[in-house]
A and B are shown apart, each in its own frame.
Chain A
């Protein structure tokens, strides 16, 4: 049977929309590498990207219109069809769920007579879920038109429902809805630093580019995004790489569920981040830098722009920085639009270039062929802060902190079952138990270190230490007490990976979604040992053949919980050796309804 393609949205561009498009395009000089930013800005004004706007932008940028659709459809927050005037997205991390987000969402759907994922008939709103919004310490959280709202309660949900019904503009909503706390419970090297703006930069200028690389190398600093690549080596390789331009990119696409340290760093230590980037620019010879900010942190944009502007005015950015002739550098902020995969460095660069965030084939690596195929030094927010401190303190002093292979401090984002969730900064080498003590966690059953792609450890391992020698971490620290069902934790993570798979390679595209189905089957009480065997098979294929880390780690939550909490799975398995892949009796429901039959023959038993 042949279906007609979905008819294009009937909306034509009104004169005011047209002039807005022209304004946005003009602001970006009709540069197609700014496509993602253009689409974001168009959507901020129009609520979505109408078909007519797609054609208009395609013509202005001189690119095929299907490239625009291709890019827009990659990002969760961009819409080619209207999703309502108010787009409500509940953060769906396990920590939000533990704080009752699912009930709140059901309540809100009931209140507004709406089904999740559907747009209301009057086009007023839609309610759905989104991956972790980085507010785990003050959840449950949601985004309304991409603005973060924290600490949801039944009362707050009701108030939001009322505001939406009354079509109150978002700017007129109570300011405390949007208040994001920093929740710093333990400050250290970074959060306790008392440097004046430009102090580290001045130290760097005295050293010069080559010496900066040397200091960072000798400091032992390793990347804070999780992989732990030595920062000095990266900067050195980038410095030595030939290219027309060198670039510095800061990865603030903090998408790993359970992580929110970059949110706090960008709020409290934005100068230190930019100072680190500027030092890096000095070291690698870059004139242009980018901060890639995840869409969920859109609310930080004005603050960050303000800091950049102040730094320009203080000659800490711009031309002849701090009077050093020829040292020119500036930083531009790019916003993401809801794609976890863009935290992967080469996917982030693709996204910076206005493309779909698909990880590149590596080699070549970004240090030689990164942004626009030019040498690019790309580091995590926290890494730039640490680098600035290391340069300011000197390599010896810095490397004395932490452990021999993990120097310096680490920011830990604590969430889950504990009375004091928030940010804790420790020297590397701190034990899991020490953090649990500090955050007040009791009866802890498990800790998920470094998010779903990290590892889940049980009680007997709480003596293990954070650091590259033992437990490497990007900073997430989710605590689960003995009331939690670790199977449901793993299932939440598996859903997350299936949702965030970019779909480039076969194993991840198909495998994560099959893994999700198998976990759902087990959750529905239909799982057998065959399904556990399939999970193990999928894991092997994902681990060995996936294109990037997402696919390679997507099975970790299942493997680790199976290892430590196997009974949580086994208690759900059927004793039978095989169960159908689908609900047999449910598959007859339609026919029963159509024939009006309900006799014994119109049903199928689970077993016979």
Chain B
């Protein structure tokens, strides 16, 4: 018999070594998430995927799946927490969707839509974060960075380059690049790098191609992220039993 845990009262089959998030997505159950990317080791920093496991809150992306766990995810209490976290991120950075190339394809934005976030609510921080437009083909807009480290990991693990790293601490934490000048043009980043494609928001932008998809046809115009995310995750072949 396969091992299962309960997610919102439904049984979820999992393989040993999977986290609650991985098992849930593979079985076709959506848990909201932002910094988790199916191709990378779970990071656990955004906390959007917070669930209650046997009554205690935990990040589902890093929580190892175990037989018999009672996991609660789609509850008003947890969605309210997620809403507040999204609001915090919006207030913390400079997220001006109307002028962002990533709008419509942005995971933060799509989560805001899905969670019915109408406003950041909090006091906007309006941080001063100068752009890095030094590279001929690539723009870095730090205003939108949510510090998920996906670009850091993609560059290190897939591209073998270490173009990105995080510097500073606390609220002054920020993204830096690997160059004595501090500028992207002096790094070995290439358009074909994995790091170019993993940013969930609009920090790493390919120059010259902004707003290429008409409004209404963009990724999250068409389907809410709760549906889209399930397609993005590795799925188990349906109906197959697992030991």
- A-B CB pair tally, cutoff 8 Å: 136
Q: Which of B39-47, B99-107, B198-206, B221-229 contacts A (4 or more CB under 8 A)?
A: B39-47
Contacts of B180 in A (CB 8 A): 8, 51, 54-55, 65
Asked whether A361 lies within 8 Å of B85 as measured between CB atoms, the reply is no
Q: Is B62 an interface residue (CB 8 A)?
A: yes
Chain B residues in the interface with A (C-beta under 8 A):
42, 44-48, 50, 57, 59, 62, 64, 81, 84-85, 88-89, 91-92, 122-123, 125, 130-134, 146-147, 162, 164-173, 176-183
Q: Which of A33-41, A69-77, A113-121, A328-336 contacts B (4 or more CB under 8 A)?
A: A69-77
Nearest neighbor of A80 in chain B, beta-carbon distance: B167
Instruction: Give bound CA distance, A503 to B180, whole Å.
Output: 24
- Smallest CB–CB gap between A607 and chain B, Å? 19
Asked whether A66 lies within 8 Å of B89 as measured between CB atoms, the reply is no
Asked whether B47 lies within 8 Å of A64 as measured between CB atoms, the reply is no
Q: How many residues of A contact B (CB 8 A)?
A: 51
For A506-519 the 0/1 string (1 means CB < 8 A from B) is 11011111100100
Contacts of B167 in A (CB 8 A): 66, 69-70, 73-74
Asked whether A507 lies within 8 Å of B182 as measured between CB atoms, the reply is no
Nearest neighbor of B57 in chain A, beta-carbon distance: A544
Asked whether B176 lies within 8 Å of A69 as measured between CB atoms, the reply is yes
Instruction: Give bound CA distance, A501 to B46, whole Å.
Output: 15
Chain A residues in the interface with B (C-beta under 8 A):
1-6, 8, 51, 54-55, 64-67, 69-70, 73-76, 339, 356, 361, 363, 498-507, 509-514, 517, 534, 537, 540-541, 544-547, 581-582
Known contacts A514-B88, A545-B47; A503 and B147 CB within 8 A of each other: yes
Asked whether B171 lies within 8 Å of A67 as measured between CB atoms, the reply is no
- Smallest CB–CB gap between A60 and chain B, Å? 15
Q: B44, B46, B170, B171: which has the most chain A beta carbons within 10 Å?
A: B170
**What 10 A-B pairs come out closest when comparing CB atoms?**
A3-B130, A503-B173, A64-B162, A5-B182, A66-B165, A501-B170, A510-B88, A73-B167, A66-B178, A70-B165
Asked whether B176 lies within 8 Å of A509 as measured between CB atoms, the reply is no
Asked whether A511 lies within 8 Å of B131 as measured between CB atoms, the reply is no
Q: Which of A51, A65, A66, A537 contacts B84 (CB 8 A)?
A: A537
Instruction: Give bound CA distance, A8 to B183, whole Å.
Output: 11
Nearest neighbor of A544 in chain B, beta-carbon distance: B57
Asked whether A505 lies within 8 Å of B170 as measured between CB atoms, the reply is no
Asked whether B171 lies within 8 Å of A501 as measured between CB atoms, the reply is yes
Asked whether A547 lies within 8 Å of B165 as measured between CB atoms, the reply is no
- Smallest CB–CB gap between A230 and chain B, Å? 20
Contacts of B132 in A (CB 8 A): 5
Instruction: Give bound CA distance, A547 to B57, whole Å.
Output: 10
Q: Which of B42, B85, B164 contacts A541 (CB 8 A)?
A: B85
Instruction: Give bound CA distance, A563 to B46, whole Å.
Output: 30
Q: Which of A500, A547, A581 contacts B123 (CB 8 A)?
A: A581
**Can you spell out 17 A-B residue pairs with CB atoms less than 8 angstroms apart?**
A1-B130, A3-B131, A5-B181, A54-B180, A66-B176, A70-B167, A74-B167, A74-B168, A361-B62, A503-B172, A505-B44, A506-B88, A506-B146, A509-B170, A510-B91, A545-B47, A547-B47
